[in-house]
Structure 1
Amino acid sequence: MNKDDLVLLEGKVVSVGEGGTFRVEVNGGQQVLAKLGGKLRRARIRVVLSDEVRVAVSPFDPTHGLIVHRNR
């Protein structure tokens, strides 16, 4: 699967779990379990509670994803 196959969703971080996992509520009211994407992790960008983020979700499993962008 390519990066082009991922679906980008806008959402808000509602809880921070252990091990670098975040629960993100996307616009449709669904919750997605997400981890930090590669460049965010490499640049050590902090994501905290109530941040607006963009999540890349696989069309095969829409309950898990990667946080690829943090809005300012």
Structure 2
Amino acid sequence: MKGKVRESLPNMTFKVLLENGVYVLAYLSGKLRMRNIRVYPGDDVVIELTSYDLSKARIVYRER
């Protein structure tokens, strides 16, 4: 699912606006942290939603 980062929060978490207009709280995946990939407000990202809590997600890719 695609979205746009709207706000940066502490501990590498972000507020992301999805394509359908819903805000979710997202964190960086481990591979993005290991490779020091930076995510800034305004970046387009690909996220994975959890099946348990649809208000939380993981950022798996930052589009260029």
**Normalised TM-score (structure 2):** 0.95
Structure 1: unaligned runs, 5 residues or longer? 1-8
Query: Number of aligned pairs?
Result: 64
Deviation digits for residues 25-67 of structure 1 (CA, Å, limit 9, x no counterpart): 0001001100000110100000001000001111221100110
Structure 1 segment 23-42 matched on structure 2, within 5 A: 23-42=15-34
User: Structure 1: which amino acid aligns with 2:29?
Assistant: G
Shift >3 Å, 4+ stretches? none
- 3-state SS in 2 of match to 1:40: helix
Aligned counterpart, 1:47: 39
**Which protein shows a greater Rg?**
1
Please tell me whether residue 66 in structure 1 is matched to residue 58 in structure 2.
yes
Structure 2: unaligned runs, 5 residues or longer? none
Deviation at 1:19, TM superposition (A): 1.2
RMSD (Å), alpha carbons: 0.6
Aligned counterpart, 2:12: 20
